[in-house]
Amino acid sequence: MSEPTLNRRNFLKGGLVALTLTAVGRVAQNRLHASEATGSSPHSWVMIIDQDKCTGCGYCTLACQAHNDTPPTIEWNRVIDTGKLGDRDVYLPRPCMHCHHAPCVSVCPVKASYKRADGIVMMDYDRCIGCRYCEVACPYGARAFNWEAFTAENPAVPEWGVPEVERRPRGVVEKCSFCYHRIERGLSLGLTPGQDADATPACVVVCPVEARVFGDLNDPESKVNQILIQRPSFRLREDMGTGPRVYYLPAHRDEDESRARGDRSDG
């Protein structure tokens, strides 16, 4: 009985036509969301970002904007210049962390933010009432409020990809979804996320230096498991107990540069 009052699209755009055209699909979608949130999954998706490899090119941001059809003013996938290590810049790409204990999920009063059984933190844009509690609660700045309806052409399309999801309405909070639609489509076709491009998040596929790796933490043979066993890693703000699903491989000073500095200091 309360569903129409939570339908943000109906509230913002009004009119029975839009509501009629989308009602059946939205109800089915919400039921699917509920089952995913309470069900089980054999998968546990994580992403690894190698700061040693990242050049700050921004391809990941552009591919994300194209495939998820976000306006130029909203970046689900930000790349931050954290300063220099020796003679080179070090970058911190920052998508949604898809936290195990997600503060955004805890504070949402209408359950528009929810966590799937495979670990992906999702948004139900039709439930979102625009209170922005989740945006404030997120310690990673991973969410953005959609102040205006995006009706213009997407400048990232088609050079960086084509839209694969529906545009969000005005007045909701948007964020990275680990390209869940690519994962689900790939699995249905027998593909392996993290190995097959069509089943892998767009930001991972587009990276020209392979600074991102995606895969299933529940699969002991997956590349993400092999990397995390072999190399030291860190997660952002682990002290908060959020349990991020994005791991970083820290940047190291260039060996030639370190050797040269050592030689100079010895002399």
Per-domain residue ranges for the chain? 3-266
Query: At the top level of CATH, which class does the domain 3-266 belong to?
Result: alpha beta
pLDDT tens-digit series, residues 197-249: 999 999 999 999 999 999 999 999 999 999 999 999 999 999 999 999 999 99
Q: Indicate whether 15 pLDDT > 60.
A: no
CA separation for the pair 178, 181 (Å, rounded): 8
Q: Answer for the pair 104, 122: CB distance below 8 angstroms, yes or no.
A: no
Q: Answer for the pair 129, 10: CB distance below 8 angstroms, yes or no.
A: no
pLDDT tens-digit series, residues 148-165: 999 999 999 999 999 999
Those residues whose C-beta lies under 8 Å from the C-beta of residue 245, and which sit 6 or more positions away, are 44, 45, 46, 47, 97, 98, 99, 100, 119, 217
Give 255's pLDDT tier (boundaries 50, 70, 90).
low
**Lowest-pLDDT range, 187-191, 214-218, 263-267?**
263-267
Query: What is the residue-averaged pLDDT of the chain?
Result: 86
Q: Which two tokens stand for residue 86?
A: 């020796």
